[in-house]
Amino acid sequence: MAQLSVTTGDLSRLTTLVRSSDLEETQEIISHAYSPYQLDCLGDPDEFSAWYAESGFPGITVSGLSYGRRGGRAETLIRPQPLGSYLLVCEVTHGRVTVSSPGREEYRVGPGETYVLDPYRGFQVHWSPGARMFTVRLDREVVERAAADSLGVDGPVRARFALGKAISPQAARSWSTISGAVRQEVLGDGVARTNPLVATQLTQATASLLVATQPLITRGVHARRGGTVSHAALRRAMKLIEEHPDHPHTLTDLATAARVSPRALQEAFRAHLDTTPLGYLREVRLRHAHQDLLTAASDRSATVSDIAHHWGFSNLGRFAAQYRQRYGHPPSETLTG
């Protein structure tokens, strides 16, 4: 697997919950943070140490975790119970770990490599001395809706992930990019911390990329086409978008309102409007951003950044490019009159 970036950012942005050499204290605190687990020091217990810290925004929690000290001899074994309500995407930044699902799979992971722990399996993780990782935590329901959208079923589906690397080097790079963006939002005081719309969109994008890049297992579920969608269903989805453009809509939400499957709604938007449901939502928000810029041009009530972030455009460069393509000039020109 290609080595990915292991840049960690400013760790002071994470809230430290454990920095301890006490095994029982560590087990108790991290059991509450994740799920109940058994913790064993394999070697001299005087060499045991642990660090755990976390932070995030609504929808995603980023954590840092390490056991032992680099150059030491004490290894660590953890055996958590199944996670249940969420998934963990784990990226090793220092040292090595061996993760296994007893009697099924085993995967050795080094710096820059990633693995996924789904909510359903039992597993154990063997840590080399001083190994460290970052994790991205996503709610199970968010990921399983993304899996249903990907398969074109009404969902959600019971999504499980094989232990092992991403499905391709390109997929690994794509995951590394979104993981880096999430980490930057958390460690770099990003707008997702204070803007629910941006937080929801970034969470959904992260879940969708997880499903698209990691080895997904969905036994008994097969993609299917949605069939012909009536104009009434299309109008229902459009009406919801037009009336509530500031709501953090998902494809599943829009399909539910239209009373069709997500795949069928996507096909209807492409056939009749030459776009996607979320593309149409983005166009409506762009139109509202344009109106807000015109208002701000007369009363100086907001900046381009304020307006872009309000309408869920977290990447200002991308917002400016889309605005220029739609209106023929950059948003700053509208603001300055």
- Per-residue pLDDT, averaged over 90-108, amounts to 88
- pLDDT reading at 65 higher than 60: yes
Structure tokens at 183: 């980490």
Mean pLDDT, rounded, for 206-234: 73
Average pLDDT, the chain: 86
Cα separation, 230 vs 93, whole angstroms:
51
Considering the domain 280-336, what is its CATH architecture? Orthogonal Bundle (1.10)
Q: In b/e form, how buried is each residue of 56-70, taking b as 16+ CB within 10 angstroms?
A: bbebbbbbbbbbbee
Nearest Cα neighbor of 126 from 164, 154, 158, 98 is 98
Lowest mean pLDDT: which of 174-178, 218-222, 242-246, 249-253?
Answer: 218-222
Average pLDDT of the segment spanning 236-264: 88
pLDDT tens digit sequence for 37-56: 999 999 888 999 999 999 99
pLDDT attached to residue 16: 92
Residue ranges per structural domain of the chain: 11-199, 280-336
Q: What is the mean pLDDT of residues 70-86?
A: 91
Q: Options 1.10.8.50, 2.60.120.10, 2.60.410.10, 3.30.980.20; which CATH number does 11-199 get? A: 2.60.120.10
pLDDT at 10: 59
| E strands, the chain, in order | 15-20, 37-42, 50-57, 60-67, 75-80, 86-94, 97-101, 105-109, 114-117, 124-127, 132-139, 160-161, 216-217
- Ramachandran assignment for 307, one of left (phi > 0), alpha (psi -120 to 50 degrees), beta (any other): alpha
pLDDT computed for residue 262 by the predictor:
84
Q: What pLDDT does 5 receive?
A: 42
| pLDDT recorded at residue 11 | 64
Inform me whether the pLDDT recorded for 335 exceeds 80.
Answer: yes
pLDDT computed for residue 145 by the predictor: 86
Q: Which amino acid is at 36?
A: P
Rounded to two decimals, what is the model's pTM?
0.70
Q: Among residues 166, 167, 187, which one has the least CA distance to residue 112? A: 166
pLDDT beyond 80 at 30: yes
Over residues 124-135, mean pLDDT: 94
Cβ neighbours, 10 Å, residue 204: 21
Across the range 79-95, mean pLDDT stands at 93
* CATH fold match for the domains 11-199 and 280-336: no
